[in-house]
Amino acid sequence: MMSLAEQKAFFEEEGYLIVEGVLSVDELAACHEEIERLHRLSAELESAGDPASSRFQREPYAKGANRPDGLPVLRKIEKTREISTFFRDLSVHPGLLRVVGGLLGPDLLLFRSTLMLKPAFHGSAHAPHQDSAYWPIEPPALVTVSIALNDATTENGCFKVIPRSHTWGLRDWGLIAQAQDAETAHERDLQDARQIEVPLKAGSALFFHSLMVHGSGPNRSSQPRNTALYAYFPPHVRYVPGKGGPREKTYPVACGLDGRKTFTLETAGQQVQAGPGASSPVVTKKNELNFRSKYNKLYSNYTSCLTMASRRPHRLTFPHAPIPETSLHRIGRAFMRNTEVQETNEVLNELRGELHEVVILLSTIARHIDDFRYETHKLNRYLRNNPREEQSSA
């Protein structure tokens, strides 16, 4: 095992670090038990119409279906620290803080606590992106910890990273919605970069810089892949307020700072204008409504496609596939380029993530319609060449 000094040197050069055996077998079992409790809580909140149910995101590839036990098929659970004592305690696990403290220093604030769930057969992929594109922290000196709660493999969609990409700075394609823009010059950077997969044993953790380009594949396996995510940062950074947003931001203390429970960040003196290469976009209320309208139209088209497909006798299925370049991508990019943006907010991030999933599903549907047409063409050609068989089967 590397010393703390060796870990820091490797992290600063490569942008990521793997530490094995952070959680024990008993701790992993407790994690899975708590995840099941959160699934039950999600169903209760959704049934009651509680606004807190928005912290639980359903897996779009499941098409609204529930698990065999009637509980929802979830993709993500946000702010786990606020709804789970267990995962709040896990955020200050000594095995995590020892490593993060060695990377960032003894005083740490917690920026994010999330569960990413990739259900068996349904878990969706995540396009390459940079976390700092969404986070209003300056300078971007955050470390995210991804704890594998199951074995993470190629088949179930393990992390993919581009080593040393944290040295590139924030790119204008750093957002998920723009990350697969084949028309940008930076697409060549992704194609030429040395992307690697990061398989992990359950209980191991991946630590990575918030500027490092990363993503993950879909889960094609018969087993789920669950991940606990925490993001930490030192207190000497600044909070960058957006237009109409709060002028200051208070975060929970993970360790240090003389035992304080929370810490309010110093606010940056000048607002950062978003756009290519800037951090964390947000839209005005008018633009937010425009975005919702465009999203709703796209989602309506998607559900219509699913309805039509379900009526076909061949019962099309929609396995995971890479996202081809489509007009939907171009429409989305043109809209975002014409949108006046400032800095991040949760509403836009959720909408952008949802739109990304809709584009994936629409693209997948289109690809399988083309496949079906091709198979139909082959069948018709076969029947033309074998007329007797066609008559006998009629």
| 58 within some domain | yes
For residue 276, tell me if it sits in a domain. no
Pair 302, 171 in one domain: no
Mean pLDDT of 285-314: 49
CA distances from 378 to 75, 265, 312, 382, 384 (A): 38, 64, 19, 6, 10
- One domain, residues 250 and 293: no
The answer to the question of residue 272 being in a domain is no
Mean pLDDT on 166-193: 56
The residues near 152 (Cβ < 8 Å, ≥ 6 apart) are 158, 159, 198, 199, 200, 225, 227
**200 and 345 share one domain:** no
pLDDT attached to residue 307: 52
In a domain, 278, yes or no: no
Are 29 and 156 within one domain? yes
3-state secondary structure of 167: helix
Q: Are residues 237 and 353 in the same domain?
A: no
Structure token digits, residue 194:
């040395």
Residue 100: inside a domain, yes or no?
yes
| Helices within 248-386 (DSSP H only) | 285-310, 327-337, 346-385
Write out pLDDT tens, residues 42-59: 999 988 888 888 889 887
Mark which of 202, 235, 267 sits at the end of a domain: 267
List, in sequence order, every beta strand (DSSP E) within the chain. Answer: 16-19, 56-58, 74-78, 108-118, 126-129, 137-138, 143-148, 159-161, 196-198, 205-209, 214-216, 225-233, 238-239, 249-255, 262-267
Burial of 356 (0-12, 13-18, 19+ CB in 10 A): buried
Picking from 267, 296, 319, the residue at the C-terminal end of a domain is 267
Q: Are residues 245 and 376 in the same domain?
A: no
Last residue of a domain, one of 238, 267, 296: 267
pLDDT tens digits, one per residue of 183-224: 333 455 565 568 899 999 999 999 999 999 999 988 889 988
Tell whether 246 and 306 lie within a shared domain: no
Give the pLDDT band of residue 72 (cuts 50, 70, 90): confident
Which whole number is the average pLDDT over 141-146?
96
* Cα distances (Å, whole numbers) of residue 265 to 95, 135, 238, 298, 320: 26, 14, 6, 39, 41
Print the domain residue range for 197: 4-267
pLDDT tens-place string over residues 74-114: 889 999 999 999 999 999 999 999 999 999 999 999 999 99
Higher pLDDT, 381 or 156: 156
293-303 tens-digit pLDDT: 554 555 555 55
User: Does the pTM of the predicted model rise above 0.85?
Assistant: no
Same-domain status, 313 and 222: no
Tell me, yes or no, whether 213 and 289 share the same domain: no
| 275 within a domain of the structure (yes/no) | no
Count of beta carbons in the 10 Å neighbourhood of residue 135: 22
Residue 330 domain flag: yes
Interval 322-334: pLDDT, tens: 334 444 444 454 4
Are 258 and 293 found together in one domain? Answer: no
In a domain? residue 255: yes
**Residue 281 — pLDDT band, cuts 50, 70, 90?**
very low
Task: Indicate whether 290 and 237 sit together in one domain.
Answer: no
Predicted local distance difference test score (pLDDT) of residue 10: 97
Give pLDDT, residue 344: 41
196, 323: one domain: no
- Number of domains the chain is built from: 2
Q: What is the pLDDT of residue 229?
A: 97
pLDDT, greater one: 138 or 338: 138
Please give the average per-residue pLDDT across 26-50, as a whole number: 94
187: CATH: 2.60.120.620
- Cis ω for the linkage preceding 139 (within 30 of 0): yes
